Structure 1
Amino acid sequence: MTPIPRSRVVAYRDDGTLSRGMGRLVAGQLPPLPPAIAGAFVTGILLIVGVGGTDGLAVFAPAVALLLAGPGSSHPHDGRLDWLVPPILRLTEYGFVAAVCFGHDVHPVLIFVLLGAMAFHHYDVVYRLRQRVYPPLWLATAGLGWDGRMLAVSLGVIIGWPDLVCLLLAVYLWGLFGWESSTCWLAAPRSGTEMAAPGTRD
């Protein structure tokens, strides 16, 4: 059985294994919003300064974002403005992937397909949670999380194969998210009054 997130906002974050591991180190004691803002700001600066070239500073943005925003993953996100954290993480992830891929001449169609897989997953999670159907924890792990996807794209740039890595990542994510989403919604109760119990799928 999948553990139920402490709040919908935590599920919206879409943290990977690394981010959740860093969150466990601080045991929920770190407020999530300031680190997320700091991670987005530093990522933006690194993209502006070093998006061109495999030795550019932009390849270090995922590590910086993870170190800053990751520890906040274990917080219950019950602050008045903590709902802003997931959109900030989405902006950081999408902005990094788009900027780095365009900066390293990845084909625009491939970039669109990769970003589309991420957006499909996040859109799917939003509508699941509106129906109280929580995504299983293994999906965030298998989907690499925002942190893992950024690191994968960065690794592709470092090893000099951004096109191949983005292609493999896009195919993998579409296959994973498409299959899991289809099976989830097909298994969901048809009754308007009967809701799927949170955390019952694993």
Structure 2
Amino acid sequence: MTSVEMTPVPRSTVVAYRDDGVLSRAMGTLVLGQLPPLPPALVGMFVTGVLLMVGVAGTDGLAVFAPAAALLLAGPGSSHPHDGRIDWLVPPILRLTEYGFVASVGFAHDVPPGLIFLLLGAMAFHHYDVVYRVRQRVYPPAWLATLGLGWDGRMLLIALGGLVGQVTLVFALLPLYLWGLFGWESITCWLAAPRSGADAADLGAHD
């Protein structure tokens, strides 16, 4: 079987859409799926927004704590099956948190708008690709979220750039890495995917 065929089926499509990195998944293992995912994701978005507003408006050093706040609050919910009636809201909340953080930090540190949009574009391409392929049961490999850093890893990397005064450098290098990774993986995945609808529907049936 090809590597595409051996990709395990996600616990749920909502979990696949979360795009958790290593740290978020590790925190999820600590609570064994017992923490409902929506409330902490909402609180994480709220705390991140407050820190960004305070940081951008005044001492922008506070803004670098936003990823840690979001991770500590939303990360543990990653192990939950997301089978609640409105748990589908969790991925959009995480996207809003991540995109808002990236844009706020970029513009606050006078990063060239082109670099900001390149980074946002790489993330949006990846998230759209994941949504489309999950609907087609062509599931992304587990290592993609790890190498792609996840929403948590990307936010922490940008925060690290802010701490060491290298935000523009991070915004220049991270899009190149993510576009290369996500673009290459997406192209190779779809080229390896079966052409027939029946075969494509069976892609997720293999462990």
Structure 1 partner of 2:26: 21
Question: 5+ unaligned residues in a row in structure 2: which ranges?
Answer: 1-5
Deviation at 1:60, TM superposition (A): 0.3
Q: CA RMSD, aligned part only?
A: 1.6
Distance 1:16 1:199, change over 3 A: farther
Superposed structure 1 runs of 4+ greater than 3 Å apart: 52-55
Q: Does 1:124 align with 2:132?
A: no
How far residue 53 of structure 1 moved from its aligned partner, in angstroms, is 7.3
Aligned amino acid, residue 51 of structure 2: L
Question: Is 1:111 aligned to 2:116, yes or no?
Answer: yes
Aligned to 2:165, what secondary structure does the other structure show? coil
Distance 1:169 1:54 in 2: 25
**Does residue 125 of structure 2 align to residue 95 of structure 1?**
no
Query: Which residue of 1 is the match for residue 3 of structure 2?
Result: none
- The question of whether the paired residues in 1 share the 8 Å contact of 2:54 and 2:60 is answered with no
Counterpart for residue 38 of structure 1 = 43
Query: What corresponds to 1:50 in structure 2?
Result: 55
| 2:20 counterpart SS class | coil
Deviation at 1:166, TM superposition (A): 1.2
CA–CA distance in structure 2, aligned partners of residues 5 and 83 of structure 1: 15
2 CA distance for matches of 1:53 and 1:169? Answer: 27
Q: How does 1:168-187 map to 2 (within 5 A)?
A: 168-187=173-192
**How far apart in 1 are the matches of 2:43 and 2:57?**
22
Give the share of equivalent positions with the same residue, in percent.
77
Change (3 A) 1:150 1:103: same
Structure 1: gaps (5+ residues):
none
Structure 1 position 60 matched with structure 2 position 86: no
Matched AA of 1:111: I
Amino acid corresponding to residue 117 of structure 1 in structure 2: A
1:199 positional shift = 7.5
Q: Distance in 1 between matches of 2:65 and 2:59?
A: 11
Structure 2 residue aligned with 1:156, among 153, 161, 167?
161
Could you say which structure has the higher helix fraction? 2
Contact 1:59 1:154 in 2 (8 A): yes
C-alpha change, 1:73 and 1:17, in structure 2 (3 Å) is same
Instruction: Give the equivalent residue in structure 1 for 2:171.
Output: 166
CA distance in 2, matches of 1:107, 1:136: 33
Report the CA distance between 1:51 and its aligned residue: 2.2
In structure 2, distance between residues paired with 1:12 and 1:156: 26
The alpha-carbon distance between structure 1 residues 124 and 69, as it changes in their structure 2 partners (threshold 3 A), is: same
Structure 1 pair 41–70 and aligned structure 2 pair: CA distance change class (3 A) = same
